[in-house]
Amino acid sequence: MARRASDRRRNRRDRLAAGIVRLGGAGVVLAVAFLAAFLVREALPLAARPEIHDDRARVAPLGGDGLLFGVDPFVEAGWRLTAEGVLVLRDLRDGATLAEARPFDLAAGERLVAARLAPSGGVVAAATSTGRVALAEFRVVPEYGDDLARTYRFSEAKVRWLRDEADGAPITRLDGDVEDDRLWLAYAVEGEARVHLVRGRLKTNRLTGAERLSVKDLAADLPAPAADLALLDHGGLVVGLSDGAVLGFKPDRRFRTLDAMPTTAASGLEPGSGGVLAVRSLVGRGSVLVVRVGDVLEHHLPRPREDATLELYLAHAWEAPVRGLRDVAVSPRQRVFFALGEDELRIGQSTAGRLYGRSPLAPGWRGVLLAPREDVLAVWQGDGAVRLEPVELHYPGFTWETWFTRIQYEGLPEPAYVWQSTGGTESYEPKVSLVPLVVGTLKGALWALLPSIPIALLGALYCARFLRGRAREAVKSFVELLAGIPSVVLGFLGALYLAPKMNDRYLSVLLLPLVLALAALLLGALWARLPIQWRRRFHGGRAAWLLLPLFFLLADFLLRSGPGLEGWLLGEPLTAWLRDRFEVPFEQRNALVVGLAMGFAVTPLVFTLAEDAFRNVPRDLSEASLALGATEWQTAVRVVVPPALPGVVAASMIGLGRAVGETMIVLMATGNTPITSWNPFRGFRTLSANLAVELPEAEKGAGLYRTLFLSALLLFAMTFVVNLAAEWVRVRGRKKL
Amino acid sequence: MTPTAVMSEPTSHLGRIAVDSANRRAPVEVADEAEPIVRVRNLDFWYGDTQALFGVDLDVPKGQVTALIGPSGCGKSTFLRCLDRMNDTIDGVRISGTVELDGQDVYDPRVDVVELRRRVGMVFQRPNPFPMSIYDNVAFGPRLRKELGRKELDDLVEKCLRSAALWDETRDRLDQSALGLSGGQQQRLCIARALANQPEVLLLDEPCSALDPNATAKIEDLIFELRGRYTIVMVTHNMQQAARVSDVTAFFLKGRLVEADRTEVVFTRPSKEETENYITGRFG
C-alpha cells in the first residue's frame, strides 16, 4: 500500500514537471506569436484604402450663388464668397446665417469675376470686373457663448491688392498664395497669350505696425491663351493651354525675367494632347495636377536639374479616372486629391501614383473640397446645399510603392529610395522608403560578418581541435566573456574611438588581416624547421600562443605607421585618395567602423556556437582519422569540418541574425544617414536604429508610426527567417549524420 | 587465401572453459622463437595522477594474433593504445618505458607519429566509419598521403574490401554512404579501412563487443584470414574469442601484465593463480 502511495506521488510529480516544461515551451512560442501579432496589428491599418461614406452623408444649406466656398475645421460652419464680394457664413447645423463680411471694399458696380482658394485654405485670390486682383487672408474662428455653445465668425480679413489697375482687363484665370512676407499671384487676361506673375513684398514697420506692400509684375508670352494656371512654391507656376501644352515658368533670382522650364516625362509616359481644362496645385505647391479634355489627369512636378535649373516632369498620367473628368480637389494636408467627374469622384494619391475607389457625385455640383481635418468631403451642390460626406483617408501616402520602389518626390532630381520621415513645414511629405533601411541593415550585417566569421570559425576550430585541457577552457571562457560586453559600450567604442582613430589608417586596417595571416604562415614554416625537442615544449596547440606577441607587435607597428604609410604610398590619406581618384565618398562613421565594433559582438557568439559544433563531432571519427595516420589538420578538415558544417552554417546565420537585429552599435557608430549605398566608407541606417531613433517621436496611430511598425515587422521577419534557416540547416545536418 | 596452417589437435584442455570445440580454429603453428615485431619494456602509464599500467613487458610475435584479456579497467585498452600512441590525444597522460616497433622506440621524439600510425592500424570498439561513401572510407588513409593514382586506388580499395570479406556485399554500392551498412559490415569496413594503409600491425580494440553473434563470427573469420599476413593485437572481453582466434594470450589485471604465453598454455596450464581464477570465471 505504501508503495502505491509513493508511486502516485511520483506520477504526480512527473506530470507536474512535464506540465511546467510544456508550459515554458508554449510560453516561448506564445510570446513570439504575440509579438508578431502585435506588430501585424499595428501595421495592418496601413493596408486600408480610403473610403467615402456616402451613405452617412448629411446635407446642410449654404446658399446658391457664389464663386467659392469653404468649411471650418469642425465642419459646423460654412462660408461662400459671392460675386458681390460678400463673405457669407452660415451654420451648417441649423442653417442660420452667422456673419457677413465685405473684405474687398469694391467700387460701385465692381463685381468679382473669378476667385481661387489656395490648397492649404485660408488664402483667396479674387479678380474683379474692373481688372483688379486681391489676395484675401481670413479664417473662420470659433466663439464660445455663455452656455459654451460653439458659434463662428470671420477673423479680420487681410486684403492686399496685387493688381490695382482698374483697366477692365478680364481676368478669369488666377492663383495666389502667401509665403511668409511674400505674396504671389499668377494670372492671365482673357484672350491674351500671356501669363503674369506678381510678387508682393510686405514690409512691416515694427514701431507703427504699418504695412507697406511693394508689387512687381512679370509677364511671359505664351503660344496660345492660357486655359488655366497654378502657382508652384517660390513663384514657380504652371500654365495649361487650350491647345494641350503644359508649360512651367520660374522667375529668375532677381525677379527680372520669367523663364520657361524644359519639360520631360517619366519613361513610358507622354503628355496628353487634349486641351487643358484645369491646373491645380497640390498642398505645399510642389506639384500640380492637370485635367485635360478627354478624361486625362496628369501629375506634373518641377525637379532640379544638374545645372540647378528646373524642369517640369510628368510623373504620372491616368486615362479616364472618372466619367467626364472636369476638375480636381486637393487635400489641405497631404498629396491626396479627388478627381471630379460629372457624376462620380475618385480619391487619388499623387506621390505613389495611386487611384482608389469611386464614389457617386451629384451631377451639377459647384465645388468640392476636403475639410481641414480631412474627415469630411464637402460637395457644394447645384441647389445651394452642401453635402457633407464622412471620409476616412487612412494612409494613402503609405503604400507598397512608397516603401519599396523608387519614387519621384517633389523637389528631388530623380526617382529615388528616400527615408526622410519629417520635415520643417506642415505641408512636408514624409518619405518612407524602407529600401535604404533594409540595405543599411544588410550592409551593416555584411561588414560585421566579413571579418568576424572567418576569425570566429578558425578560432573555434583551433580551440576545439588543437587546444587542449585548461588552455582550451580558458580561451573559450574568455571569448564567451567578450560576448557579454554591452553593445552600448561597443557602440561607444566604435563611434568615439575607432572612427576617429581609423580615419587616417584605413590602409593599415585593411592590410592587417593579410599581414597577420602571412606572418602566421611564415612563422609556421619556420616552426616546422625547429628541432623537435623545442617544439615538443609547446605541444597541445600552445605553439600558437607564441604568435600573440608577434601579432601585437605587427599590428601595433602597422597601425602606428598607418598615416605615414598612406602618405608614402599614395601621397595622401587613403580616403582622400579614393575620393580624388575614384570619387568614392567617405564618411568618418562608416560600415567598416561598425563592422569592427559589431565584430566584437558577433565573433564571440559565432565562436561559441561553432566551437560546440566542432566539439560535438563524435570523438570516434577524429580518433579513427588519427589512427589512420591523418595529421591534426587533415583530421580537422576532412573529418571534423564536414559533419560540423551544418552547425557551423547555423552558427554563422545566428551571427547574421544578431548583426541584423543589432541596434545600439549601429545607432551610435553609423551616423544614421539613411542612404542606399553599399560603399563601406559611408554610413548607413539600419531598421533597428531607425526604430530606436524615430519611434519615440512618431505620432501614435499616424502613418509614420505604423510604417515604423511595418519596418519592425520586416526586421522581425528577417531575423526570424535567418534563425529559422539556421535551425533548419542544423536539424537537417544532424539527421544526415 | 588461407594461412599456411598446419592443423593440430584440438586441445582437450580447453574443456575447462565453455568452448564450442566445433568452432575452435586450429592455431597456426608458429615457432616459439617467432621474432617479436613489437617489444614493450617496463611500460608505466598515468592518466593524470592515476597510474593505469605498471611495468608491463610484452613481446608481440610477428604475424600472429595476440589477445589481451582481463577484467574491465585492467589496462588492456590503454596498453593497446600505447602501441600506436593514440593515448597522445588524451589530455594529461604520462608514459615511461619503451615500446619498440621493429627495434625503433615509438616514443622517441624524432618518430613521426603520423607514419607510426600508418604502420600500426587500429580498429575501435564501436564501428566508426566516416559519414562518407564506402569507397571514400577505405580510400581515406591512402588519400592522406596522395601516393596513389586513381586506378591503383581502385585496386587497393577492392583488395582491402576483399580482405575484409566485404567486397561481395558492397561492390555495387561503393558510392553509397557507409552509414547504411549494418553494424557488422561497418566494423569490417573499418578493418578494410585500416588495411588500406598496409599496416604491419593491426590493433583491434574489442572489435566485436558492439556486434551480434553473427557479425562477431564473421569478424572472427576475418581475423583468422588475416593472421599470418598481419600481426594482430586484439583486446577482448570474450575469453572464448581469445581462445578461438589467438595464438598468444596476455592476461592483464589491475594494470599489470599477469601472464602472457601461448594461448593453449594460458587456457590450459596457466602459471598464475589469478589467471586460472579469471579464465575459470571466478571473477571478472
**Which of B109, B128, B144 is nearest residue A624 as measured by Cβ atoms?**
B128
How far is Cα A35 from Cα A43, in angstroms, rounded to an integer? 12
Which sequence spans correspond to the domains of chain B? 14-130+206-279
Rg (CA), chain B: 19
Whether B29 has a pLDDT exceeding 80, the answer reads: no
Identify whether the C-beta of residue A133 lies closer than 8 Å to the C-beta of residue A187.
Answer: yes
How close A627 comes to chain B (CA, Å)? Answer: 6
Q: Tell which residue, A212, A197, A204, A117, has the closest CA to residue A163.
A: A197
Helix (H), strand (E) at residue A547: helix A547-560
pLDDT for res A736: 56
Q: Do B197 and A629 touch (CB under 8 A)?
A: yes
Query: How confident is the model over A15-46, as pLDDT tens digits?
Result: 999 999 999 999 999 999 999 999 999 999 99
Which CATH architecture best describes the domain B14-130+206-279? 3-Layer(aba) Sandwich (3.40)
B184 burial level (CB within 10 Å; 0-12, 13-18, 19+)? buried
Q: Closest partner residue to A629 among B109, B117, B190, by Cβ?
A: B117
Q: Are B256 and B54 in contact (CB under 8 A)?
A: yes
pLDDT of residue A279: 96
C-alpha cell at A625: 582519422
* Cβ(A91)–Cβ(A98) below 8 Å: yes
How far apart are the CA of A601 and the nearest CA of chain B, in angstroms?
Answer: 31
Residue B193 CA: distances (Å) to CA of A38, A169, B116, B141, B198: 58, 107, 16, 7, 10
With contact defined as beta carbons under 8 Å apart, do A165 and A110 qualify?
Answer: no
Cβ neighbours around A442 below 10 Å, total: 18
Return the DSSP state at A233: G
Confidence at residue B92, expressed as pLDDT on a 0 to 100 scale: 81
Q: What is the distance between the alpha carbons of residues A316 and A616, in angstroms, rounded to a whole number? A: 60
* Whole-number pLDDT of residue B32: 52
Counting Cα atoms < 13 Å in the Cβ hemisphere of A607 gives 25
Instruction: Count CA atoms within 13 Å of residue A182 on its CB side.
Output: 11
Sign of CA dihedral A648, A654, A656, A662: negative
CA distance A389 to A569: 73
Contact B124 A624 (CB under 8 A): yes
Q: By CB neighbour count within 10 A (0-12 exposed, 13-18 middle, 19+ buried), where does A29 fall?
A: exposed
Nearest residue in chain A measured CA to CA from B138? A628
Map grid coordinates 467700387 to a residue: A107
State the SS3 of A273-302. Answer: CCCEEEEEECCCCCCEEEEECCCEEEEEEE
Segments of chain A with pLDDT less than 70: 1-3, 424, 533, 536-542, 734-737
**Smallest Cα–Cα separation from B140: which of A334, A506, A731, A626?**
A626
Please name which of A330, A387, A395 lies closest in space to residue A360, comparing C-alpha atoms: A387
- Write phi, then psi, for A623 (nearest 5 degrees): -65, -45
Q: Which of residues 452-511 of A touch B (CB under 8 A)?
A: 468-469
Which three cell numbers, joined as nine digits, stand for A416? 529615388
Q: Per the CB < 8 Å rule, is A623 touching B128? A: yes
Cβ-based neighbour number of residue B159 at 10 Å:
16
Find all residues with CB under 8 Å of B31, minimum gap 6, and list them: none
SS3 (DSSP) at B152: helix
The b-or-e profile of A191-209 (16+ CB within 10 A means b, else e) is: ebebbbbbbbeeeeeeeee
Kindly list the distances between the CA atom of residue B34 and the CA atoms of A176, A453, B235, B269, in Å, as whole numbers in the listed order: 119, 58, 21, 21
Residue that has been written with the C-alpha cell 524642369 in this structure: A311
Q: CA-CA distance, A611 to A455, in Å (whole number)? A: 12
CA distance linking residue A243 with residue A222, whole number of Å: 11
Give yes or no for a contact between A238 and A246, defined as CB atoms under 8 angstroms apart: yes
Beta bridge mates, A137: A123, A158
Chain A hits for B142, CB-CB cut-off 8 Å, are none
Residue type at position A227? A
Considering all CA atoms of chain A, what is the largest pairwise distance in Å, rounded to the nearest integer? Answer: 120
Taking contacts as CB-CB distances below 8 angstroms, the residues of chain A near B114 are 629-631
User: Can you give the pLDDT at residue A3?
Assistant: 64
Let me know how long chain B is: 284
3-state secondary structure A234-272: HHCEEEEECCCCEEEEEECCCCCCEEEECEEECCCCCCC
Across the interface, do B114 and A630 touch by the CB < 8 Å criterion? Answer: yes
Query: Of the candidates A627, A639, A737, which has its C-beta nearest B117's C-beta?
Result: A627
Rounded to the nearest angstrom, the gap between the alpha carbon of residue A673 and the centroid of all alpha carbons in its chain is 12
Residue owning grid cell 565562436: A607
- Is there a contact between B189 and B124 (Cβ–Cβ < 8 Å)? no
Confidence tier at B5 by pLDDT (50, 70, 90)? very low
Which member of B89, B124, B130 has the closest CB to residue A639?
B130
| A180 Rama sector, left if φ>0, alpha if ψ -120 to 50, beta otherwise | left
A678's grid cell = 553599399
User: Is the confidence at residue B216, as pLDDT, over 90?
Assistant: no
Cα–Cα nearest to A691, from A726, A732, A719, A730: A719
Backbone angles phi, psi at B221, to 5 degrees: -55, -45
Instruction: For domain A105-133+158-398, give the fold.
Output: Methylamine Dehydrogenase; Chain H (2.130.10)
Closest Cα to residue A634, out of A646, A621, A651? A621
Q: What is the pLDDT of residue B10?
A: 39
- Chain B stretch 122-141, residues whose beta carbon is closer than 8 A to a beta carbon of chain A: 122, 124, 126, 128-132, 140-141
Q: What is the pLDDT of residue A2?
A: 56
What confidence score (pLDDT) does residue A582 get? 83
C-alpha span between A729 and A648 (Å, rounded): 9
User: Residue A92: which of A68, A110, A74 has the closest Cα?
Assistant: A74
CB distance A304 to A352 below 8 Å:
no
3-class secondary-structure state, position A225: coil
Is there a contact between B124 and A626 if contact means CB atoms under 8 Å apart? Answer: no
User: What is the per-residue pLDDT for A131?
Assistant: 93
Sequential DSSP letters for A566-577: HHHHHSS-HHHH
Tallying the residues shown for chain A, one arrives at: 737
* pTM of the entire predicted model: 0.83
Instruction: Tell me whether residues B194 and A628 touch, CB distance under 8 A.
Output: yes
The stretch B159-183 carries a mean pLDDT of 89
Contacts of A621 in chain B (CB under 8 A): 128, 130-131
Residue corresponding to grid cell 547555423: A650
Closest by Cα among A564, A393, A367, A541 to A465: A541
**Window 211-270 of B, Cβ < 8 Å to A:** none
Asked if A626 lies within 8 A of B86 by C-beta distance, the reply is yes
What is the C-alpha separation between A474 and A545, in angstroms, rounded? 13
Residue A413 sits at the chain B interface (C-beta within 8 Å): no
**CATH class (in words) of the domain with range A417-422+429-501+588-737:** mainly alpha
**Cβ-proximal residues to A97 (8 Å cutoff; 6+ apart), any chain:** A88, A89, A90, A91
